Amino acid sequence: LNPITYPGSRLLPPALQLTVVENDPTGVAGRNVDGYIARPYFREIFAQDVSPAVAADMFAHQKSAALRANLEPSGPPSWARVPSWYLVSQQDRVIPPALQRFLAGRAAPGRTAEVNASHASLVSRPDAVSRTVLRAVDATQPR
């Protein structure tokens, strides 16, 4: 979405590195472009609230993402017909929290929580993530 309306992402060059992928049948002329976070910026942008050792391990296992995946329409959103929950990461430097709140307001009104965490809240705050998952499980169980 619009970075002017939702500023704050730090996932920009030089932190965002791009590489051409050869022999990709989904790309133009058999090529595509993948993006990843460069090592010197990884912890600062993606996981500033985990230890340096954990961030190094996360960097070592990082998978690049096809930039095309962020440009293609995905079809009808499942959140329009399936109950959804959202956990806003208040210190996210990849997806600005204001944008997360906007998205959560569409997909999960009344089922949104916030956590003082980075983009890597699954790793840094598993307690808050599991509470959100358990609330969703509880709310969707037959009574």
- In this predicted structure, what is the pLDDT of residue 29? 77
In terms of C-beta distances under 8 Å and separation of at least 24 residues, what long-range contacts does 97-102 make, across chains too? 97/8, 98/6, 98/8, 99/1, 99/6, 102/1, 102/6
> Given this model, what pLDDT does residue 1 score?
64
Strands (E), the chain: 16-21, 32-37, 65-66, 86-89, 112-115
**pLDDT digits (tens), the chain, 143 positions:** 678 899 999 999 999 999 998 887 777 777 888 999 999 999 999 999 999 999 999 999 999 988 877 777 889 999 999 999 999 999 999 999 999 999 999 999 999 999 999 999 999 999 999 999 999 999 999 98
Query: Can you tell me the distance from the alpha carbon of 87 to that of 78, in angstroms, rounded to the nearest whole number?
Result: 17
Per-domain residue ranges of the chain: 16-70, 78-140
3-class DSSP assignment, residue 86: strand
**pLDDT in the model for residue 84:** 95
